Chains A and B, each alone.
Chain A
Amino acid sequence: MLKALLRKQLYEVRYFYLGGGRKNKKNMPKNPKGMYVLFIFLYLIIMVSMFFASMGIGSALIPAGLDWLYFTVMNILAFLLGIIGSVMSTAQALFRSKDNELLLAMPIPPSRIVFVRMITVYLMSFIYASVIMIPAIVYYFIAGDVTFLSVVFCILSMFIMSFLITAFSCFAGWLVSLIATKLKNQKIVLVLLGVLLIGVIYYFQFNASRLIQSVIANAQEIAGALRGWGYPLYAPGLGMTGQVVGFLVFLGITAVLFGIAYYAVTKSFSRIALYKAAEKKTEFHNTDIRSSKLSDALFRREMKRFMASVSYMMNAGLGLLFLAAVGVLAIIKMQDIRMIIASIGAQFPYADSIAVVVGVCLTGLLAGLCLMASCSISMEGKYVWVYQSLPIDPYQIFRAKLALHVVLTGVPTLFSILVFGIVLKVSIPAFLCMIVFAGMYILLSASFGLMLDLKKPKLNWTNENQALKSNVTVFVDMLLGMLVPCVICAVYLLLAPVMGPELYLVIWIAIFAVLTLLIHKWLAGRGRAIFSAL
């Protein structure tokens, strides 16, 4: 039975990534190998950068005999990244699959269903954890005092760490889902819980480099303090240096926590998976029948689709939170920012100009995290027939999807730029350039994301995560959306002596405009045809 369930899960993954088999060529990506190559390439790039990060930490700790502390720091980083990567989607993966009723109607114990779904979460956790742990281990093998046991335990610890992440993610997903069944305003509560969780995680993430520096600077004191009370925390680190007891403690703790999470999820699986909130009954009035313009109707429909799904909001709209937060943070830290720029300005004459470009690129980078458009076609899923059967030009549908993205992203972006304008005391022409630059960038990244999603849509998902998270287009769009502002910023560091920020931004506005026009030409031609044939 377990084999059958695992096979079904594999079929699902295969269908999702490779299409419906030989007979269903329509759903078969034209070049699946290309997707894998791209994924592996990006994965390797991140690994290389993590190797250098490991080198920075390890070169301070390993020669001092604190290799166990080195592993403790790297393990904490891997754990945090794993949690960030998987916790938001775990509830969806565990409880909100479309085949819940089908599976529960069969003589399959819920524990088996849970087990198989936890394996999916485990794989995701492993991908995130390994991106930090593999480079960390490789660096240790180069610089550390390697023994046979340390090699074996290091490799095994990577798999155990993924179990630990899975346990925490599943427990968090279970808790959130359980709370949601007890509450009336589920969506609001889930979003708030998600925001809270993200806030906590990012608090640690933003302070990570400061904490690491502090660990490096005070390594001996921290090591002494940890030895006193934090054995469970550094036991994994000890284990990875080859210490048997530390490794066994790590293994034991993980097994117990995984067992607790598995038990908790299994115990309430049926109740949560089949839970349906009582719908609010509203009396119908003739005044509910209202006509509006087609463009308004389409925009409203897109907005409703976005607001209807917590996963959609949390995964695709996370950048909106950051955009608003960075604006608020800039207000709070206004004096500090001005002081930093003034002190840099004393040594470097173009600090003010660079600050303008950095400010607008920072908003661009965060806007790149807004992914509403790049999964909007995939999120149509089973509803796609409605649009296709109605007399609507697909290009109008694209415009509605882009409008939703631009409006939602535009408001917090405008707020942030307004704040930056005030904080940096930007001239009016530069301020206008910042606004137009950000607006054009948002439109370009939205259009590009939509084009990618049209080229490789994922309509046959069994849970929304597949369209939102396991979607290469979303990943590529996010990566490019963040990379491009960084490149623009870096280039200006070289050009600042010869070019004012206004001219520089105007040049980029022109480039964005041309690229946007080209993408829209594609959307209006080939894109239309692709959507009609989905």
Chain B
Amino acid sequence: MLRIENLTKRYGDKAAVDHLSLHIQPGEIYGFIGHNGAGKTTTLKSVAGILPYDEGEIYIHDISVKLSPIEAKKIMAYIPDNPDLYDFMTGVQFLNFVADVFGVSQADRESRILKYGNMFELTEKLSDPISSYSHGMQQKLAVMSALIHDPKLILMDEPFVGLDPMAAHLLKQTMREICDNGGAIFFSTHVLEVAEKLCDKVAIIKDGKLIRSGTMEEVKGDASLEDVFLELEAEKD
């Protein structure tokens, strides 16, 4: 589903991501953890086709993000850590806009908007301006807009920040459901307990370099993910 080969992104002389390689299979929820500034967001943005990278390649369903960014974006969705949605639109206008961009049929968009709107208890508010939404509501709307075209791959940067416990629970369920239906999710998080419970695989990044990746069991063994993470952080220092 997602193949990252030797991804390198530099800001000036500093490599924010340094020869990172990662493969994600359909059906997998892949967690991406690391300290602040480790290169998680840079990696996710590069995969999303937002950030041009210096070396390496990224393939989504064998489509190169560098060579065919539009085709690659058609089958994925990206939710940033702090989504700045169009606050000059209402919720439903934004969803219509995103659905129009992806060419989602009237029937499909109706069923998905109502399904996820009801799930996240946002349906009632969809005709209100986004400027009146709380941070959590905007996060829910961003999730809804990401799901509206039934993407094969979803990239999420800290998706649980700002969500209430119920919404976070529903999002976790939805993530599982998407992957059970053959999709894949690549998300970053600082909440190691969530990663431990939710992810099939996990990758740990430090200073732009991938220091460990694999199934949850391979990465943490008998210890907790938190212990392993802290140990790895200390080791390299």
Contacts and interface: CB of A to CB of B under 8 A. Distances in A.
Contact of A388 (B50, B77, B101, B114): B50
B2 to A, nearest CB: 15
Of the four ranges (under 10, 10 to 19, 20 to 34, 35 or more), the interface on chain B belongs to: 35 or more
Candidate in A282, A305, A386, A393 with the most chain B CB atoms within 10 angstroms: A386
Contacts, number: 109
B101 to A, nearest CB: 5
A391 B70 contact: yes
B185 interface: no
Contacts of B165: none
Contacts of B71: 391
B48 A391 contact: no
B74 A391 contact: yes
A26 B11 contact: yes
B113 A301 contact: no
Interface string B72-91: 11100110100011101110
B214 interface: no
Contacts of A307: 88
Interface string B37-52: 0000000000011111
A220 to B, nearest CB: 57
B105 A291 contact: yes
A398 to B, nearest CB: 15
B80 A385 contact: yes
Nearest to A290: B96
Contacts of B123: 284
A294 B105 contact: no
B121 interface: no
Interface in A286-327: 286, 288-294, 296-297, 300-301, 304-305, 307-309
29 contacts: A279-B128, A279-B132, A280-B129, A281-B128, A282-B128, A285-B127, A286-B110, A288-B96, A289-B95, A289-B106, A289-B109, A290-B96, A294-B100, A294-B103, A297-B96, A297-B101, A307-B88, A385-B50, A386-B84, A388-B48, A389-B49, A389-B50, A389-B80, A390-B101, A390-B102, A391-B73, A391-B102, A392-B70, A532-B49
A203 interface: no
Contacts of A281: 128
B221 interface: no
Contact of B86 (A25, A305, A393): A305
A289 B113 contact: yes
B100 A297 contact: yes
A284 B50 contact: no
Nearest to B124: A284
B106 A291 contact: yes
Contacts of A24: 11
Contacts of A221: none
A532 B52 contact: yes
Interface string B8-25: 000110000000000000
A291 B99 contact: yes
A175 to B, nearest CB: 24
A279 B129 contact: yes
Q: Across chains A and B, which 6 residue pairs bring their CB atoms closest together, nearest first?
A: A308-B88, A297-B100, A391-B73, A279-B132, A282-B127, A382-B84
Nearest to B90: A282
Interface string A14-51: 00000000011110000000000000000000000000
B84 A385 contact: yes
A348 interface: no
A283 B92 CA distance: 11
A391 B77 CA distance: 10
Contact of B126 (A288, A291, A386): A288
B101 A305 contact: no
Nearest to B95: A289
A296 B100 CA distance: 9
Nearest to A22: B12
